[in-house]
Amino acid sequence: MKVIWMGERVERTGVHQHAIRVYFEDTDAGHIVYYANYLKFAERARTELLRRLGVESSVLMKEHGVALAVKRCLVDYHKPAVLDDALIVETEVFRVGGASLDLLQTVVRDEELLVSVNIKLGCLDLTSGKPKAMPRDVRARLNNYCDEAQNLTGEAEG
């Protein structure tokens, strides 16, 4: 499937997609995306997925006293992106635990894989800094999203 640049976000079955344009500020002296900026791109895409599901970070912090923080991050850099590239950050949620969330995020240009990020988020109590169960409504929204994605993917394959 060819991904078409359509502004803020492009949807595909089972995978949330967020469009990113590479600006000068994202690059090094050679106009290649600086490696750490892919983590920023991934963060924006995760935030937009959660926002789409009705989960705002500010509400989690204010009303529940928790935040989702990166517990583990494994990044593979396959090919570089450069100035003015139109990228898509694809995010797939593949496990929702009581206090954690596992995702796979990829950065693609057209159909070409540039970066893959395996990430685990943990739900932390803002006061103690210790792990805390995700609020039920958040966990339910994430589980529903995963279930819908699996059902759509299963229907497409079957």
Q: State the Cα–Cα distance between residues 137 and 53, nearest whole angstrom.
A: 11
Q: Which of 60, 118, 122, 54 is nearest to 92 (CA)?
A: 118
Output the average pLDDT for the chain: 88
Q: State the Cα–Cα distance between residues 85 and 33, nearest whole angstrom.
A: 10
Read off the pLDDT band of 146 (50, 70, 90). confident
Neighbours of 106 (CB within 10 A): 20
Write the DSSP symbol of residue 18.
E
Mean local confidence (pLDDT), 116-142: 96
Mind listing the domains of the chain with CATH numbers?
16-157 (3.10.129.10)
Helix (H) or strand (E) holding 157: helix 136-157
Q: What is the pLDDT of residues 55-106, one digit of tens each?
A: 999 999 999 999 999 999 999 999 999 999 999 999 999 899 999 999 999 9
Residue 158, pLDDT > 50, answer: no
Distances (CA, A) of 75 to 16, 80, 81: 19, 13, 15
Q: What is the pLDDT of residues 135-145, one digit of tens each?
A: 999 999 999 88
pTM as predicted: 0.85
Catalytic residue annotation: 28
